[in-house]
């Protein structure tokens, strides 16, 4: 793949992503238009099919592309996207409202990463990673499922923490400062397992926040936060550049 001096040191996956974004932002690939296939892009850009697939999958998750079974991948209609999300400690948020925060620890385990988790954490499939599944409660009522995978190279003692006393946020922020954060927000329907943990009814909406964090030059964590859509909202405020 050819690239200018501004892309020296940029990973091949990021250059593939930049290429696709450039085509969309320039208007060459218009809303609703079908983009080249993975195999075609692989030939054009000199990247593996897996690298192309991951870039297109991530852009689809961000709402920039739409993948249709048997039809191909299309440029999505432009939507407004909030970028105001900031990292916050759920315990501090709950206590700031004058309420009590408690945590149920459902799982703390080592797992062999499948292809999806390996891709999220940028490790080789089969690599051992840490997994925690927690339920955060406000005055005894479940408010959030925190389903998190952690790169052991970032936090070797993650599974030794008592998350009934501190939150993963507090522990991870103490390990090292974060360099980059990625947020994706989606509305999904509750599944049986989440329904039970959050004490919800079938068919009720969930607000899903997917988050990846970078630190020390690596992807440190990949997490999914599930909230009852009818009693939780995300809001923010940011200055407007002039």
Question: For residue range 178-232, what is the model confidence (pLDDT) as tens digits?
Answer: 888 888 888 888 788 888 998 888 878 888 899 999 998 899 999 999 988 765 5
Please give the sequence-ordered ranges of beta strands (E in DSSP) within 86-156, or none if there are none.
101-112, 128-138, 141-150
Total Cβ atoms within 10 A of residue 13: 17
Q: Which of 167, 180, 162, 190 is nearest to 220 (CA)?
A: 180
Mean pLDDT of all residues in 152-160 = 96
pLDDT score of 152 more than 80: yes
The dihedral sign for the CA sequence 204, 207, 210, 215: negative
> Quick check: 113 pLDDT over 80?
yes
- Domain ranges in the chain are 8-75, 90-228
The residue-averaged pLDDT of 151-175 equals 95
Which tens digit of pLDDT belongs to each residue from 223-238? 999 988 765 555 544 4
pLDDT of residue 238: 45
Residue 51 pLDDT exceeds 80:
yes
Name the architecture of domain 8-75: Orthogonal Bundle (1.10)
Tell me how far apart the alpha carbons of residues 117 and 125 are, in angstroms, rounded to a whole number: 8
What pTM was estimated for this model as a whole? Answer: 0.62
Of the pLDDT bands very low, low, confident and very high (cuts 50, 70, 90), residue 6 is: very low
Q: How far apart are CA 56 and CA 62, in angstroms?
A: 10
Alpha carbon distances (Å) from 234 to 141, 181, 231: 18, 16, 11
Q: Has residue 134 got a pLDDT over 80?
A: yes
Q: How confident is the model at residue 63 (pLDDT cuts 50, 70, 90)?
A: confident
Helix ranges (H only) for 5-114 are 12-25, 38-45, 49-61, 90-96
- Domain 90-228 coded CATH 3.40.1410.10: yes
């Amino acid at each position: 793949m050819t690239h200018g001096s501004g892309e020296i040191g940029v990973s091949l996956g990021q250059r593939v992503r930049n290429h696709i974004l450039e085509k969309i932002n320039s208007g060459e690939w218009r809303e609703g238009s079908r983009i080249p296939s993975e195999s075609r892009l692989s030939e054009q850009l000199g990247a593996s099919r897996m690298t192309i697939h991951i870039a297109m999958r991530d852009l689809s998750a961000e709402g920039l592309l739409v993948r249709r079974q048997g039809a191909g991948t299309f440029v999505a209609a432009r939507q407004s996207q909030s970028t105001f999300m900031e990292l916050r400690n759920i315990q501090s948020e709950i206590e700031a409202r004058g309420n009590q925060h408690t945590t149920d620890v459902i799982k703390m385990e080592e797992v062999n990463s499948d292809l999806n988790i390996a891709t999220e954490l940028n490790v080789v499939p089969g690599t051992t990673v840490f997994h925690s599944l927690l339920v955060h409660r406000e005055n005894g009522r479940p408010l959030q499922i925190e389903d998190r995978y952690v790169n052991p190279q970032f936090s070797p003692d993650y599974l030794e923490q008592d998350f009934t006393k501190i939150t993963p946020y507090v522990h991870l922020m103490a390990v090292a400062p974060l360099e980059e954060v990625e947020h994706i927000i989606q509305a999904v329907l509750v599944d049986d397992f989440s329904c039970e943990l959050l004490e919800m009814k079938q068919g009720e909406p969930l607000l899903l926040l997917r988050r990846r964090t970078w630190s020390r030059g690596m992807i440190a964590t990949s997490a999914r936060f599930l909230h009852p859509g009818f009693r939780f909202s995300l809001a923010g405020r940011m200055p407007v550049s002039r």
